[in-house]
Amino acid sequence: MSPLPNPLPDAEAQCRQLADLIRRQLSKNPALVGIYSGGAWIAERLKDLLGLTEEVGLIDVSFYRDDFSEKGLHPQCRPTVIPFDVEGRHIILVDDVLYTGRTTRAAINELFDYGRPAAVELAVLADRGGRELPVAATYGIWDVTLDDGQSLVLERKDDAQLAWRLEHA
């Protein structure tokens, strides 16, 4: 893991790098599924960068999180939309930041409610370590170390460009 650079990396350039890593898997006819909200934005960007015509799937893991009883329902809960048959498909699950692995686990649980995919791979822009579950990204761009109380937030600007922001608790 590397220390946090200043300024933060260009998220748009990272999306292009991620597309380059995924491009060699296109022969498997993968379907992209983004985890709200940052992962959904990245999945949409990857669809365009890779020239895919199939709509991306979108997952909100709020009801599948193992800490749901502690945190309750997120105020911006969105519906999960999977516009393709999951059964037997090669799925690339997309998220912005991989941390404990709990969000990924929740997304995979929900994905299996729609069918049994042939394979599920994970693509992320940032991996900050700190895993609590045996989850690893198949495609990752940036390994980063954050201090306690820091978190990376991907935001979408008014011009639809993606950018990183550092938050302090």
Q: Is the pLDDT of residue 2 over 70?
A: no
For residue 139, what are the CA distances in angstroms to 18, 74, 93, 97, 164? 7, 28, 10, 12, 19
Identify which has the larger pLDDT, 132 or 70: 132
Instruction: Delimit the domains of the chain by residue range.
Output: 11-168
For the packed helices 11-23 and 38-50, what is the interaxial angle rounded to 10 degrees?
Answer: 60
DSSP state of 56: P
Q: Is the pLDDT of residue 83 over 80?
A: yes
Q: What is the pTM of this model?
A: 0.91
Query: What pLDDT score does 69 carry?
Result: 47
Query: What pLDDT score does 148 carry?
Result: 85
Q: Is the pLDDT of residue 7 over 80?
A: yes
Query: What pLDDT score does 6 carry?
Result: 80
Q: What is the mean pLDDT of residues 43-54?
A: 97
Identify which has the larger pLDDT, 63 or 120: 120
| Residue 45 host element (H or E) | helix 38-50
Query: What pLDDT score does 63 carry?
Result: 74
Q: What is the mean pLDDT of residues 61-72?
A: 60
Q: Is the pLDDT of residue 65 over 80?
A: no
* Angle of CA points 158, 125, 94, to nearest 5°: 85
**Topology given in CATH for the domain delimited by 11-168:** Rossmann fold (3.40.50)
Identify which has the larger pLDDT, 138 or 69: 138
Query: What pLDDT score does 78 carry?
Result: 80
Q: What is the mean pLDDT of residues 59-80?
A: 66
**Torsion angle in degrees (nearest 10) through CA of 84, 86, 90, 91:** 80
Q: How confident is residue 68, by pLDDT bands cut at 50, 70 and 90? A: very low
